[in-house]
A and B are shown apart, each in its own frame.
Chain A
Amino acid sequence: MSELDDFWIQIMQFVARHGDAEEFPTDANGQHPVVVALGDEPIVLLQQRIAAVGGNATIFVRDTIEGEVVVHVASAIDSDCAIGLDAADDLVIPGDALSTVSMFLNHLRNQPNGVSLGTQSEGPRFENIREVELAGA
């Protein structure tokens, strides 16, 4: 199992134990997609994973900050249904961008109204970033 696979399992166990559906974005089927990523992965991979589940997802990211493992969670809302997009900061990322997920989360942390991220002009809106504690993360 890779580091990403281990994190994926850890997040499934966390959601089974603590997941509160009211805090998770809902897809067109009334279900709650969850996407995981590592901080050092390219942001385009995270975009692809969110697109693969339809654009609405809760994202969990495992990162290392100053030698400490930190897990962040945020909501990604499809631009077609996000309300108040005007208030969000827009961040256009080219398809071959080398930016990492960690770099994007650093930006998101400083944008209280959220960030719309796209390869062209529109993409999912990210908001409500917060840190979570997982046992053994």
Chain B
Amino acid sequence: MRAAKPASQRYDPMRPEGSENVFVFPVPGDPELQITIHKWQEDGRLLDLVLQVRDTRDGTLLASIDCKHGTIHRHNETESDRPRKELFPLATQDELQKNADEAIREVAEYAKDLKARRGRK
């Protein structure tokens, strides 16, 4: 009989299995704001891409997009704080990259807008 996996290793349907690599992109002109690309792969096959916008001063997660499941969270905007399922249908392997291109532009524009609003304060 196999031992149960610890909670941290149990399958999470919103978290693909495989290995995760994280690429960090500071926002030009405001390096304390960062976009991270979480790239999940297994045997060279892309499983999922998750994009996050984070304020590194206090570690606050400001927004995230899951390119496979189509969920968006904007943590500082009450109206859109709920996950939105309609952005992308559950993506196939081939659709993931296309979704990622669109999602990257979206989070970049969001981060630049956030930077501009901070600059005006």
Contact = CB atoms under 8 A, between A and B. Distances in A.
B24 A53 contact: yes
Contact of B22 (A5, A8, A11, A30): A30
A12 B26 contact: no
A4 B26 CA distance: 12
Interface in A1-25: 1-2, 4-5, 8-9, 11-13, 15-17, 19, 21, 24
Number of chain A interface residues as a range: 20 to 34
Interface in B15-68: 21-28, 31-32, 35-37, 39, 49
A16 to B, nearest CB: 5
A107 to B, nearest CB: 24
Given A16-B49, A19-B39, A31-B36, A1 B23 contact: no
A53 B23 contact: no
Nearest to A6: B108
Interface stretch (A33-41, A72-80, A82-90): A33-41
B24 A33 contact: yes
Given A36-B28, A49-B26, A16 B39 contact: yes
Nearest to B37: A16
Contacts of B37: 12, 15-16, 19
B100 A31 contact: no
Interface string B82-109: 0000000000000001001100110011
Contacts of A4: 28
A8 B100 contact: no
Contact of B25 (A27, A30, A34): A34
B75 interface: no
B104 to A, nearest CB: 5
A12 B112 contact: no
Contacts of B28: 2, 4-5, 8, 36
B100 A13 contact: yes
9 contacts: A9-B108, A12-B104, A16-B37, A16-B49, A19-B21, A31-B23, A32-B24, A34-B24, A52-B31
Interface of B: 21-28, 31-32, 35-37, 39, 49, 97, 100-101, 104-105, 108-109, 112
